[in-house]
Structure 1
Amino acid sequence: MGRPKTKEALIEQAYQQFNQMFDMLEGLSSEDKMAAFSFDKPKSDQAAHWTRDKNIRDVFIHLHEWHQLLINWLITNLNNQSSTFLPPPYNWRTYGDMNRMFWEKHQRTSYDDAEQMVKDSHMEVMSIIINLDEKELFEKGYYDWSGKTSVGSYCISTTCSHYKWAKNKMKRHRKQVLS
């Protein structure tokens, strides 16, 4: 399954990846879902998220907060108010600090609340995507505020790609707790 190039493919893959992510939780007890990750991070991948995210709740919060970024960016700009995707003072060189801030902000959020938050924000993102047309999503430069890429590219990164990333973490956790 390649990167979506149409609205239909984006919607299909976003729902599919999201559902598969939750399928990873099937058969896990409440304790397993809330347990700290105990798997080793891949030696070939030194990304900060391997040490930042300590459990599934942290992954859900990360997804939820990135949904919020997309929702706010789209709604603000579609209403003819200028907004960058990443809120100041963050930029694409410092977004790791923003991710850390999200993590810190939600350390008192319960697993159940985080799960509901990601489900709700996913549905809100999908509602916005469904209401955009093919050109709005995939024509580069259709909106000047999307820069050199398309709105769809941001949507893919925030949904399909992020859900695939989350599934990878959950798969490792699942393997660890069920072994």
Structure 2
Amino acid sequence: MPRPKTKKELVELGEANYRSLLNFVRELPREELENEFPPGYLNRNIRDVLAHLHHWHLMMLEWYKVGMSGFKPDMPSKGYTWKTVPELNRKIQDTYSNVDLKVVKDSLEESFENLQEIIAQHTEEELFKKKHYPWTGSTSLGAYFISATSSHYDWALKLIKKCKRQLA
């Protein structure tokens, strides 16, 4: 499906890509869930990938909270710029490196639901009109949600499949 342009498409693609990712992970045998990815990948295993998604959900929720209260959020995160996202992603990986996969999955589910609730509260215009909210700059709120949801889930599933193939 192409990049969402409506609220319905945003919700449907986010849900579809999220469920595809979780279903793929659920069907893997336990040992494959714990396998380390091949060298050269920041995220070392499935837990790392799911934790990465969860943390980016949390950042999106924070941007939203700060932005909707009339302030400019620290994007992508305090102390980081878009150019230093690789460093931020390393910090995220370190943060969750000792967290159990089940805890990560439960956290991801909760943060996913929180994002869906926020999306549901907005009209199509609020989501897709560029510059509707000052804190989103020259883009739309929907563009941020697409990046934090459907596009990110697609990336995650492709990464996991690629690493699984390389290990086979």
TM-score calculated relative to the size of structure 1: 0.87
> Partner residue of 2:11?
11
One-letter amino acid of the structure 2 residue matched with residue 22 of structure 1: L
Q: Which runs of 4+ in 1 moved over 2 A?
A: 79-82, 172-177
One-letter amino acid of the structure 1 residue matched with residue 103 of structure 2: D
CA apart distance, 1:116 = 1.1
Q: Deviations over 1:12-59 (max 9, x none)?
A: 000000000012124312221111123x7xxxxxxxxx5201100000
CA distance in 2, matches of 1:164, 1:145: 26
> Partner residue of 1:107?
97
**Could you say what secondary structure the match of 1:94 adopts?**
helix
Counterpart pick for 1:70 among 60, 63, 80: 60
CA distance in 2, matches of 1:176, 1:32: 12
CA apart distance, 1:174 = 4.2
| Within-5 A mapping of 1:44-83 | 51-83=41-73
> Which one has a larger percent helix, Structure 1 or Structure 2?
2
CA distance in 2, matches of 1:26, 1:118: 14
CA distance in 2, matches of 1:84, 1:141: 18
CA distance in 2, matches of 1:84, 1:140: 20
| Further displaced range: 22-31 or 161-170 | 22-31
Q: In percent, how many aligned pairs have the same letter?
A: 31
Q: Does 1:122 align with 2:112?
A: yes
> Partner residue of 2:74?
84
CA distance in 2, matches of 1:89, 1:27: 38
> Partner residue of 1:47?
none
User: How many residues are aligned here?
Assistant: 168
Q: Does 1:135 align with 2:125?
A: yes
Contact 1:24 1:170 in 2 (8 A): no
Counterpart pick for 1:165 among 155, 158, 167: 155
**Could you say what secondary structure the match of 1:24 adopts?**
helix
**Could you say what secondary structure the match of 1:172 adopts?**
helix
What 5-or-longer segments of structure 2 have no aligned partner? Answer: none
Counterpart pick for 2:143 among 111, 131, 153: 153
